[in-house]
Structure 1
């Protein structure tokens, strides 16, 4: 592993936290003494590095163990349980589709074709007719 390129896939490009990305003097109206600026940069860099390394040892190692266990279990389940189950489901669905298609072609399609033939000569005519009937109710 190359320690200079510790993020070869660029996962953490958003973490630009070097001194000049965090503490930047905008122009000549706001600038520090050169010696103080260099000392500030060194204090920032070394304190950030020391805290990062300390936290990486104290917190990072247990976390990386947890992440290794989680991703290992996830990989195991995906390879040994989920992928074969998905493949089995796809195979069963494809096989059921063949049977359903066969039954549909043999039974349902002729039935609906015959219904279509029976009702193909039915004609419906719609027209408006007013009915003038009066009903009287006697009590």
Structure 2
């Protein structure tokens, strides 16, 4: 047994990541789950793919092995849902960019703040770690 894990199994250790409020750790399981979301997002690196996507988003998404739930999340730009479905924020940045959003502006949509509020919070050092440690422990 790995001494870093103590008496925990790897599954117990990884499950602890789901107890971090407001955070989705990109694990191997999430990578597998979100494979096609991330492949779609990476396709937007090519200008011709961005143009096809912008011309008819639904038709472009239909060319990918995406669940209807993933397509709906992509169409509505529900980035939190996309992260839950295995999307990687750095791959999804290709979609942010296609939409003309900065990384910070897009990430602000994943919070309960406006972009100016989010930017101010980040410029002031980010969220306070006080009280935000565990979902099970009610923060």
TM-score by length of 1: 0.20
More helix by share: 1
| Higher RCO, 1 vs 2 (CA within 8 Å, ≥6 residues apart) | 2
TM-score by length of 2: 0.20
